[in-house]
A and B are shown apart, each in its own frame.
Chain A
Amino acid sequence: MKKIVILGAGTGGTIMANRLRKLLERDQWEITIVDQSKTHYYQPGFLFIPFGMYTKEDVIKPKMNFLPGGVHVIFEQIEKIDATNNHVILNDGVILQYDLLIVATGTHTCPEETPGMTGPLWHKDIFDFYTIDGAIALADFFKTWQGGELVVNIADMPIKCPVAPLEFAMFADAFFVERGLRNKVNITYVTPMSGAFTKPRASKVLSALLEEKNIHIVPDFYIERIDNEKKAIISYDEKEILFDCLVTIPVHKGDPAIGVSGLGDEMNFMKANKHTMQSDLFPNIFVIGDASNFPTSKAGSVVHFEADVLTENIMCAIENRPFTASYDGHANCFIETGFGKGALIDFNYDTEPLPGSFPFPGIGPLGLLKETRANHYGKVMFRWIYWHILLKGKEMPIDSKMTMAGKKL
């Protein structure tokens, strides 16, 4: 009996468990999946919680609901991957032997990386919305807040879903307009990037959208620390921005187990080939999703496209054939812009987000890089698609390779 071990039962690990269990004979391949938590979080939903649009119940379900029969599920922390001996050591001392290993351990926020962040103001005037606790604490705070300086700050890149902070700022604009408080709330968007987004054309469109909504952008700000007494964020070159409410997107890192196993970069993101998804160091180790160091978005759509490629390449590896699939960096992200509208971007490693229509050229119904109502409904519907189709590894009507059809250069 040969063994596949999947580390992480989030979006990527769950999809791969579903896909591989269907493809591989049960009497030949044993599949084991390991995760430290029993709860599956619908992470795109966290954004909606601070504004009272979703509650905790909308974004959590048991992981077991999405894992197929015939897969061993272990809920335990991973201590280390001993890649030279092909085994994984768990926290309770259990050792899992593998023939093929899939790393899907994701990324998490590290507020402790920024001095002062988890000080006396943490979850009182300083919030994150990338964790369920932070999102709920912020929802409670907003219920009674009477206004002031609202600062949204990205600590460093990469982060999960690089459009989420923008969506947050635009939702905040709509939220305070609807509450009649917008004239008492100044919204400032402080980013280490040179503009609103990482890619030039989208950055231009999104920057203009923020200006239109009277959201002030401060670019090239790289936070060093937070002064809790002064209520200020301070950059490495000693620029200061005062806040009454700080919404931070903390530094992100990969799983510490990747670091201690010598498979990661300095942020514990696993080093692997960005096209084949195979480890640079060990041919029987693969990576999917946020855990990798690939230069594309850390987002669910990326995981879904990567799953197509990884499934094919794992079958190649099993059958001793050269890899036939190559991941192009395809990402497809809805951007909520508030007031029932949304935008959509579609891009890959080489092509930045461009205007146009999606998925059908000239027809849509979704518009690329522009605000429409259809895009908003696309995002709203996505939660259902996520729970019922995507996690189960079923076919989606969007190709894993990006297409230029429908895009305007």
Chain B
Amino acid sequence: MGQKLIAGINIDVNDEGYLTNSSQWNKEIAVEIAKEEGIEITEKHLAVVNFIRDKFLKGENLTIRSVGNSGIVDIKGFYSLFPGAPMKKAAKIAGIPKPSSCV
């Protein structure tokens, strides 16, 4: 656990760079974290990020398939927006904990 200067603000993050206090999140932070992940944020990225933040804040389960059913993007599109590990990258950018993938 530590702090990191992101977009000019000190943000609480864990060892892997995930925000530990999701209320500190804003759009500028999303843009910065995305850059570190090699992603140039577009409106599409933000729509997905907002969708998963919303699900997380409501305490709902998050899976790749649920994003694929969101109507914003299909699973293929989700992978091309956040290459490699879309859920982990999107969660990091969305300022929520790393998804533990449902038990």
Binding site for B on A (CB under 8 A): 156-158, 162, 192-194, 198-199, 220, 222, 224, 236-237, 251, 265-267, 269, 271, 293, 295-297, 331
Chain B residues near A156 (CB, 8 Å)? 63-65
Q: With contacts A237-B84, A331-B103 known, is A295 near B75, CB below 8 A?
A: no
Question: B79 touching A198 by the CB < 8 A rule?
Answer: no
* Nearest neighbor of B85 in chain A, beta-carbon distance: A220
Chain A residues near B26 (CB, 8 Å)? none
> B42 on the interface (CB 8 Å rule)?
no
In the assembled complex, the CB of A225 is this many whole angstroms from the nearest CB of chain B, namely 11
Which label, helix, strand, loop or mixed, suits the secondary structure of the B interface?
loop
Question: A192 touching B101 by the CB < 8 A rule?
Answer: yes
Question: A237 touching B100 by the CB < 8 A rule?
Answer: no
Contact of A162 among B61, B64, B103 (CB under 8 A): B103
Chain B residues near A158 (CB, 8 Å)? 61, 102-103
Chain A residues near B61 (CB, 8 Å)? 158, 265, 269, 293, 295
Question: A224 touching B75 by the CB < 8 A rule?
Answer: yes
Cα distance, A157 to B79, chains bound together (Å): 17
Chain A residues near B78 (CB, 8 Å)? 236
A-B contact list, 28 entries, CB within 8 Å: A156-B65, A157-B63, A157-B101, A157-B102, A157-B103, A158-B103, A192-B64, A193-B101, A194-B88, A194-B101, A198-B100, A198-B103, A199-B103, A222-B79, A236-B64, A236-B75, A236-B76, A236-B78, A237-B79, A237-B83, A251-B65, A266-B69, A267-B63, A269-B61, A271-B60, A295-B103, A297-B103, A331-B103
> B66 on the interface (CB 8 Å rule)?
yes
In the assembled complex, the CB of A404 is this many whole angstroms from the nearest CB of chain B, namely 19
Cα distance, A222 to B82, chains bound together (Å): 14
Within 70-94 of B, Cβ neighbours of A (below 8 Å) are at 75-76, 78-79, 83-85, 88
Which label, helix, strand, loop or mixed, suits the secondary structure of the A interface?
loop
Chain A residues near B102 (CB, 8 Å)? 157-158, 198, 295
In the assembled complex, the CB of B4 is this many whole angstroms from the nearest CB of chain A, namely 22
Chain A residues near B84 (CB, 8 Å)? 220, 237
* Nearest neighbor of A222 in chain B, beta-carbon distance: B64
Q: With contacts A236-B76, A237-B83 known, is A198 near B65, CB below 8 A?
A: no
**What are the 7 tightest A-B residue pairs by CB atom distance, in nearest-first order?**
A158-B102, A266-B69, A236-B79, A198-B103, A157-B102, A297-B103, A237-B79
Chain B residues near A266 (CB, 8 Å)? 65-66, 69
Question: B79 touching A296 by the CB < 8 A rule?
Answer: no
Chain B residues near A237 (CB, 8 Å)? 79, 83-84
In the assembled complex, the CB of B66 is this many whole angstroms from the nearest CB of chain A, namely 5
Cα distance, A355 to B54, chains bound together (Å): 36
Cα distance, A224 to B76, chains bound together (Å): 9
* Nearest neighbor of A195 in chain B, beta-carbon distance: B101
Q: With contacts A198-B101, A198-B103 known, is A265 near B66, CB below 8 A?
A: yes
Question: B103 touching A267 by the CB < 8 A rule?
Answer: no
Cα distance, A286 to B64, chains bound together (Å): 27
* Nearest neighbor of B64 in chain A, beta-carbon distance: A222
Chain A residues near B75 (CB, 8 Å)? 222, 224, 236
Cα distance, A194 to B103, chains bound together (Å): 13
Known A156-B63, A157-B101, A266-B69; further 12 A-B contacts with Cβ < 8 A: A194-B101, A198-B102, A222-B79, A236-B78, A236-B79, A237-B84, A265-B61, A267-B63, A267-B65, A271-B60, A295-B102, A296-B103
